[in-house]
Amino acid sequence: MSDADRKNAANHSRQRKAFDSDNLSLSREELVRELKVYADLYEFSPLGHFTLDADGKIRSVNSTGAGLIGRLRPELLGIPFEQVVAEPSRAEFSALLDDARTSRAKTACELTLISNSSDQLSVRIDVLCCKEGNEYRLSVLDISKRKRSEQALQRSEARYRSLFETAKDGIMIVEAESGAITEVNPFLVGMLGCGRDELLGKTVWELDFFARIVPSAADFKAMQQRESFHGDDLQLGTLWGRDIPVEVVSNSYIDQSKVVQFNIRDITIRKSAEEALLSSEEQCRTIVSNINEYVYSVRFEEGEITSIYHSPKCFDITGYAPEEYYRDPLLWFSMIHVEDRNLVVEFLNSIFAGVDQEPIRHRILHKDGSVRWILNNCSVQRQQRGDRLSITRLDGFILDITDIKRAEENIFFLAHHDPLTKLPNRSTLYERMEQVICAAQKSARNVALLFLDIDDFKQINDSMGHDVGDRLLQSVAKKLNDCTRSCDVVSRLGGDEFVVMLWDCGVAETTVVAEKIIGTGFQVMGSSVMVTPSIGISIYPEDGRDYLTLLKHADIAMYHAKKSGGNNFQFFTHKLNEMAHQRFMLEGELRRALDRNEFVLYYQPKVDLATGRFSGMEALIRWQHPVRGLMLPVSFIGIAEESGILTQISKWIIPTVCRQIQQWQQQGIQSVSAAVNLSASFFQHPDFEETIEDSLLQTGIAPECLELELTEATIMSDPQRVLGSMAAMKALGLQLSIDDFGTGYSSLSYLKKLPVDKLKIDQSFIHNIARDADNAAVVRAVISIGRSMQLRVIAEGVENASQLAWLQAEGSEEAQGYYFSRPLPVAKMTSLLKQRANFLHNPRGRMQLKML
Ligand SMILES: Nc1nc2c(ncn2[C@@H]2O[C@@H]3COP(=O)(O)O[C@H]4[C@@H](O)[C@H](n5cnc6c(=O)[nH]c(N)nc65)O[C@@H]4COP(=O)(O)O[C@H]3[C@H]2O)c(=O)[nH]1
């Protein structure tokens, strides 16, 4: 027994004796009353009272005791108290009784009882052993509540400890009064890189680690006064060689434990994330400021619109500075071009409704008043507010596409218009005609199509230069527009071809317009040169029910107008169509004729009027058509020239003539020469000179044996170029003559420059030379010019003796004509050459020829 227990036992015995002596002095009634009081106190005591016999069986129990065990009193009486003691506490209970018996003093312990009402019951039992060890008195106090709160406290402490030990923040407990560190968790120790012992007991401000968190005792005190302190972005010193950015929260528990707890969080990752975010934000801003798009963002909150961001580019695109948008978030909407507002509203409504939308193109009014085209693209952010999904933000970008739009319009214009005259082009005319024909069909109206071509445009273009040609075309375009109404269409197909569409015009109305166009005349801007048009007209529906047919028929009519001398207009007729068809067929056959070897050359002699002998011959082409028979050049040479086939034919003629001369020479016919007619197109063709040179080289004939006949028109088509080629031919040694001389308008001064040898008087002057004084005068003049310029003169188309006599009298040196011989095929010409006929003195020569 301990000293304290012995003291307790002595006290108890003393109190007992005092109690007994007090009660002995009472009367019986008083005693009974007193006993009743004690009985009540016993019965209703907050403690459970049990009396056990020497064997530990329950002899008596008060109602509180029975209640604690959760049984009725009779059930408890006589059973060993040990039965209501929980198994783990039984040994302790047994020891408690032993202790009480041996010490005779009150002993106590805490143990667990089995209770019917609450299963396990924590109790404190005080035991007093009485009656010489034959009785035990037990006072049982229910301490379950206390036990539970003690356990809760223990659990909470354990939890706290665990948190403290495993926390991923540094935790430090510091005495409030002294500032001495009393506890640090492992994480903080790890952060600092030092031992725990180096921290404990040290005042917090004396350690370098915390120099930038708690620099001094005063700071520590100041911290406590605030009860709770929060410091972001502080620096914690470490032994690792670098400071750690930390966030510190300190809580002062002055009233209870008189400590200050520091929670120190390593924010290195957060800091670098923040820095990265900041720099990426900065980067974003820089990018956004420098890109061509104007980036904007607005917020919607309870019906209010707030501008969040407007990139500086907004100033360039709209003329308003970002600040103006921040001040007036609706400014943007007021800038939208009034005609595009509905479009934009529809677009925004779709975006708000969550429908995916392509960026919208619309116009805005720049602050300077100009209209700009923009590409506007945006998206919205939504947020659930209550049961509603609300739009919270609108982000977008705007790109100034004014230049693109203008370029597009320009491209569109260029795609549909002729860049020189700004008139609708071929494809636009086609589209318009499709629409117009459709409308005409529905409303039973006429539509006239005028195909207009400038007469001799090529010559003007070539001789006066392309600038003049361009200006002429522009002036034609203007004049045509002046002659027509706004419902008509004036278009340029290309080159010098224009097409005018007249809405609701029949023959009579169209005639008026065509006459007006012809009458207006076209003047080359800045010059006195006037040009004339040839116009072909077709009318819907009579001449065609679709555009292409109408155009083809107007073209045919134009061709006819041109063939009729130009400067007039022709309506399409079916006869013209038939002619055009014939021409078309002939063109196809012409293309095939060369391959099929259908061309032949005839030769017509030229006669030296001084000697009556051959002075040469002219090669004249014929077409041995499989169906039509032998065709003269007049039926096909024009078509061949216009369709470009003549170049191929010329490439065949020149070597063929050279080969023929070679053959005649080989047959012993000496000093034979032949003239070849040259078209303007072939004379200017790049292959021309080579063809001549090759032909001479391959046949080996002398260049003087080949003569080239050029018409005045050929020479005048491009005088400079032709002159160059003529000089080259002359240099080669070829003979050159001007055919049909007198029909053109070549000036004498120009003639002087031409390296020609002969002038060939056109046969139209010869035919009635005896009767027509004018023709006679022309022929005389040509002979005189030839003489003065030392050129030989040859008369063409001599058909009778009187013409011959007249020419001889006037001094013409050579003549050619049916009077001497018609053009002959090779065999007959060979025979004539071999006869060495004298055409003047041996009329038999002519007679013999007739027989051939
Ligand atoms: N009424 C009449 N006519 C006569 C008389 N003497 C000759 N002729 C014809 O007059 C034409 C003379 O040829 P051109 O003036 O060069 O006129 C030629 C020439 O411009 C062209 N031509 C002929 N052959 C060729 C050729 O190979 N190449 C080129 N580019 N044109 C050719 O075709 C035109 C016509 O040729 P052709 O029909 O062969 O007609 C020839 C010839 O047959 C006559 O006394 N009275």
Q: What are 207-258's pLDDT values in tens digits?
A: 999 999 999 999 999 888 877 888 888 999 998 888 899 999 998 887 777 8
The string of pLDDT tens digits covering residues 262-279 is 999 999 888 888 888 888
Take atom 10 of ligand 1 and give the residue whose Cα is closest: 797
Cα(633) to centroid of ligand 1, in Å? 7
Given this model, what pLDDT does residue 16 score? 59
pLDDT at residue 586 tops 70: yes
Query: How does the average pLDDT of the chain come out, rounded?
Result: 89
Write the DSSP string, 592-624. HHTTTT-EEEEEEEEEETTT-SEEEEEEEEEEE
Closest atom of ligand 1 to 762 CA is: 15
Give the amino acid at 685: H
User: Which ligand 1 atom is at minimum distance from the Cα of 676?
Assistant: 27
CB of residue 797 inside a 6 A radius of ligand 1: yes
* 453 neighbors 534 (Cβ within 8 angstroms): yes
Angle, vertex CA 183, rays to CA 180 and CA 188, nearest 5: 110
The whole-angstrom separation of Cα 671 and Cα 201 is 141
Dihedral sign computed on CA atoms, order 789, 791, 797, 802:
positive
**Pocket perturbation via mutation, ligand 1, pick of 600, 606, 607, 620 by most ligand atoms within 8 A of CB:** 620
**Is the per-residue pLDDT at 4 higher than 80?**
no
Query: pLDDT class for 741, splitting at 50, 70, 90?
Result: confident
Is the domain spanning 44-148 CATH 3.30.450.20? The answer is: yes
Residue 433 tokens read as 């005609």
pLDDT given for residue 116 in this prediction = 84
Q: Round to whole Å and give the CA distance between 236 and 224.
A: 20
Q: Best mutation site among 598, 677, 798 for ligand 1, i.e. most ligand atoms within 8 A of its Cβ?
A: 677
Cβ–Cβ contacts within 10 Å for residue 679, how many?
20
Nearest Cα to Cα of residue 106 among 133, 91, 126, 123 = 126
Is residue 622 within 8 A of residue 631, CB to CB? The reply is yes
For residue 819, the number of C-alpha atoms closer than 13 Å in the C-beta half-sphere is 27
pLDDT of residue 2: 52
Overall average pLDDT of the 685-713 stretch? 94
User: How far is ligand 1, taken at its centre, from the CA of residue 796, in Å?
Assistant: 9
Q: What is the pLDDT of residue 745?
A: 58
511-540 pLDDT per residue, tens: 999 999 999 888 876 677 789 999 999 999
Query: Ligand 1: does its nearest atom lie under 6 Å from the Cβ of 739?
Result: yes
Residue 284's pLDDT is 76
**Residue 35 — very low, low, confident or very high, per pLDDT cuts 50/70/90?**
confident
Alpha carbon distance 207, 251 (integer Å)? 20
Ligand 1, atom 28, residue with closest C-alpha: 677
Q: Confidence band (pLDDT; 50, 70, 90) for 543? A: very high
Give 572 Cα–ligand 1 centroid separation in angstroms: 32
Which of 5-9, 94-98, 785-789 is predicted least confidently? 5-9
| CATH number of the 427-572 domain | 3.30.70.270
The pair of structure tokens assigned to 648 is 């191929």
653 lines ligand 1 (CB under 6 A): yes
Percent of the chain predicted with pLDDT > 70:
94
> Under a CB-based contact definition with an 8 Å cutoff, are residues 101 and 81 in contact?
no
* Residue 124 near residue 141 (C-beta atoms within 8 A): yes
Is residue 850 predicted with pLDDT exceeding 50? no
What is the distance in A from the centroid of ligand 1 to the CA of 620?
A: 6
State the pLDDT confidence band at 670, using cuts at 50, 70 and 90. Answer: confident
Residue 789 CA to ligand 1 center (angstroms) comes to 26
633 lines ligand 1 (CB under 6 A): yes
CB atoms within 10 A of CB 427: 12
Find out whether the peptide bond into 541 is cis, omega within 30 degrees of 0: yes
Which residue CA neighbors atom 6 of ligand 1 most closely?
A: 817
ipTM over cut 0.90: yes
Atom 23 in ligand 1: which residue has the minimum CA distance?
Answer: 620
- Give first-to-last CA distance, the chain, whole Å: 179
Q: What is the pLDDT of residues 812-843, one digit of tens each?
A: 999 999 999 999 999 999 999 998 878 886 54
- DSSP, res 359: P
Q: What pLDDT sits at residue 656?
A: 98
Structure tokens at 192: 């600092």
Whole-angstrom distance, CA of residue 311 vs CA of residue 321: 9
Our answer on whether the CB atom of 742 is closer than 6 Å to any ligand 1 atom is: no
Residue 767 CA: nearest ligand 1 atom is: 46
Cα-to-centroid distance, 509 and ligand 1 (Å): 44
Q: What is the pLDDT of residues 609-619, one digit of tens each?
A: 999 999 999 99
Q: Residue 379 pLDDT > 60, yes or no? A: yes
Cα 823 to middle of ligand 1, angstroms: 9
d(CA 818, CA 811): 20
* Ligand 1 contacts CB of residue 632 (under 6 A): yes
Coil, helix or strand at residue 248: strand
| C-alpha pair distances (Å), 730 with each of 109, 680, 727, 733 | 151, 17, 5, 5
Same fold, 167-271 and 291-406: yes
Rounded alpha-carbon distances, angstroms, from residue 382 to 189, 366, 391, 723 = 47, 31, 4, 84
From atom 1 of ligand 1, which residue's Cα is the shortest distance away? 797
Task: Check if 847 has its Cβ closer than 6 Å to any atom of ligand 1.
Answer: no
pLDDT digits (tens, 9 = 90+) for 407-449: 988 888 989 999 999 999 999 999 999 999 999 999 999 999 9
Average pLDDT over residues 438-466: 91
Rounded to an integer, what distance in angstroms lies between the CA atom of residue 643 and that of residue 679? 13
Domain ranges of the chain: 44-148, 167-271, 291-406, 427-572, 597-851
* Domain 597-851 coded CATH 3.20.20.450: yes
Per-residue pLDDT at 11 exceeds 70: no
What is the per-residue pLDDT for 847? 42
Please give the single-letter amino acid code of residue 621: I
617 lines ligand 1 (CB under 6 A): no
Measured by CA distance, the residue closest to atom 3 of ligand 1 is 797
Nearest atom, ligand 1, residue 641 CA = 30
**Distance of alpha carbon 682 from its chain centroid, rounded?**
50
CATH class of 291-406: alpha beta
- CA–centroid distance, 830 to ligand 1, in Å, is 20
CB contact at 8 A, 600 and 624: yes
- Is any ligand 1 atom within 6 A of the Cβ of residue 139? no
What pLDDT does 849 receive?
Answer: 46
Cβ of 679 less than 6 Å from ligand 1: yes
The percent of the chain in helix, strand and coil, each rounded to the nearest 5, is: 50, 25, 25
Which CATH code fits 167-271?
3.30.450.20
Nearest residue (by CA) to ligand 1, atom 2, is: 797
Question: Does the pLDDT of residue 104 top 60, yes or no?
Answer: yes
pLDDT given at position 848: 45
DSSP state of 85: B
Alpha helix segments (H runs only) across 167-209: 186-192
Q: Is 620 in the pocket of ligand 1 (CB under 6 A)?
A: yes
Which residues is 739 bridged to in the sheet? 711
713 CA → ligand 1 middle, Å: 16
Q: Does 641 sit in the ligand 1 pocket, CB within 6 Å?
A: no
The pLDDT value recorded for residue 458 is 85
Ligand 1 centroid from CA 617, angstroms: 12
